[in-house]
Amino acid sequence: MDRYFSKFAIALLLCLVFVAVGCSTKKTDVDPAAQEQEQVEQTEQETADQEAKAKAEAEEERLKAEELARQKKEAQQKKEAKAQFENKKIYFSFDSSELSEEARQTLENKAEWMRSNPDSEISVEGHCDERGTAEYNLALGERRAESAKKYLNALGIESDRIDTISYGEEKPAVEGSGEEVWSQNRRAEFNIISE
């Protein structure tokens, strides 16, 4: 019973389609077959065009997004590199302006940044811990800044791109006393003046 019904339904549907097609063709005077063909072709062409266009647009958008992401990533990397340059300090032993192996490595990274930012100019701040004499520490801070500058010079960074300033014990990074605090205050800091 179900089978008969579905067969009947399909036949009815087909009749309806034919009637509909027949009705529409009756309205035109031109050769319906040719026109039909043309229309089909036209429709196909349009569809293809649209598809291509959409595809191109999508591709363009994708590229744009990719480029944007790349730029964003690059900017982010640049920003990180800059932040790294400015935030990474080098540290010294008590009453010393000698560069440790770690300090040299840090300075090599800084030199690399300065090479990829050839217009950049920086200032190196020399600092000391609170122990000892304020006057002596002013001189020691200068020596620390100067030894960082000298190493950057040796790595090919021009002298006139590096300023030095000593703050002695006047601007501690961490307040307080004890070796834990002092070791963080015996440092050189790096600031970008221009890029």
Partner 1 sequence: MKQKRKFPKFIFNIFLFTFSVMILTAVRPCFADDFDNLKFIDINNPFINKTPIAIPQFTSVENNSELKKIITEGTSYLRYLFKFTSYFEIIEEDFAPEGITGSEIDFEKRKKNSELLVTSALYYNNGILEMELRLFDILKKDLITGKRYKGKKEDLKKMLRRFASEVMEELFGNKGLFESRLAFVSDSSGEKEIYSSDFDGSNISKLTSDKSIAISPSWSYDNNWIAYTSYKRGIPEIYVKSLKGGKGYIISQGRLNITPEWLPGKFALAAVMSINKDPDIFILTGKGEMLKTAAKGWGIDVSPSFSPDGAKMAFVSGRRGSPQIYIKNFDTNKIQRLTFEGNYNTSPAWSPSGDYISYVGMTKEDGINIYLIRPDGTGLRQLTTGPGDNEEPSWSPDGSLIAFTSTRSGKKKIYMMTRFGNDQRILISNMAGNQSDPAWSR
- Kindly list the residues in this chain that would bind partner 1 in the complex (CB under 8 A): 95, 131-136, 138-140, 142-143, 146, 163-167, 170
Instruction: Tell me the closest approach of the beta carbon of residue 165 to partner 1, in angstroms.
Output: 6
Q: Are strands 187-194 and 121-127 parallel, antiparallel or unpaired?
A: antiparallel
Instruction: Tell me the closest approach of the beta carbon of residue 94 to partner 1, in angstroms.
Output: 9
Q: What are the start-end ranges of the H helices in the chain?
A: 2-26, 32-87, 101-116, 134-154, 179-185
Report how far apart, in Å, the C-alpha atoms of 148 and of each of 10, 68, 155, 163, 188 are: 89, 37, 11, 11, 8
| C-alpha triplet 63, 68, 74: angle, nearest 5° | 125
Instruction: Tell me the closest approach of the beta carbon of residue 121 to partner 1, in angstroms.
Output: 14
Nearer to partner 1, 103 or 140 (CB): 140
Instruction: Tell me the closest approach of the beta carbon of residue 58 to partner 1, in angstroms.
Output: 55
Nearer to partner 1, 36 or 163 (CB): 163
CA 40 to chain centre: 50
Under 8 Å between Cβ of 164 and 142: yes
Under 8 Å between Cβ of 109 and 155: no
Under 8 Å between Cβ of 127 and 187: yes
User: Is 184 exposed, middle or buried, given 0-12, 13-18 or 19+ CB atoms closer than 10 A?
Assistant: middle
Instruction: Tell me the closest approach of the beta carbon of residue 150 to partner 1, in angstroms.
Output: 9
Instruction: Tell me the closest approach of the beta carbon of residue 126 to partner 1, in angstroms.
Output: 10
Q: Which residues is 121 bridged to in the sheet?
A: 194
Nearer to partner 1, 2 or 160 (CB): 160
Nearer to partner 1, 73 or 131 (CB): 131
Nearer to partner 1, 81 or 139 (CB): 139
Nearer to partner 1, 155 or 165 (CB): 165
